[in-house]
Amino acid sequence: MSTSSNPIEQSFELAALRCADLTPLVYQRLFSQRPETRAMFRSQGSELVMGSMLALTIEAILDFAGERRGHFRLIACEIASHEAYGTPRELFVAFFGIIRDTLHDLLGDEWSPEMTGAWDRLLVAIEAFAGITA
């Protein structure tokens, strides 16, 4: 049972009940949908990097979708650092959609229309925050 009234938080809470570690699911989807991203990770030690990146991203998402106490600013910092590595903004922002889609598939029937709406609004807001125009 979810304890949050925020649909974004609810999606993560429910996912945590079903899966101890989202990292393999998220990166499997990322590499499947965006094969060019696989080369961005070194072969040894990349699991730790991926896990850390996902944890920081989830923290930023929850803050961005919630009270915005400051963790969401990591998004802007990471956009700049990823651009320095040659990662386009659009690809960086696509990662947030990958996370949403992974949660959606994991939750199945527990995914609600409220979650869909909240995630849709969140992704649009993150694109705007990142300076991506439709």
pLDDT over threshold 70, residue 1: no
pTM for the model: 0.89
- Give the separation between CA 38 and CA 28, rounded to whole angstroms: 10
> How does pLDDT run across 67-111, given as a tens digit for each residue?
878 766 778 888 888 878 877 888 888 999 999 999 999 999 999
How far from each other are the two terminal CA atoms of the chain, in whole angstroms?
37
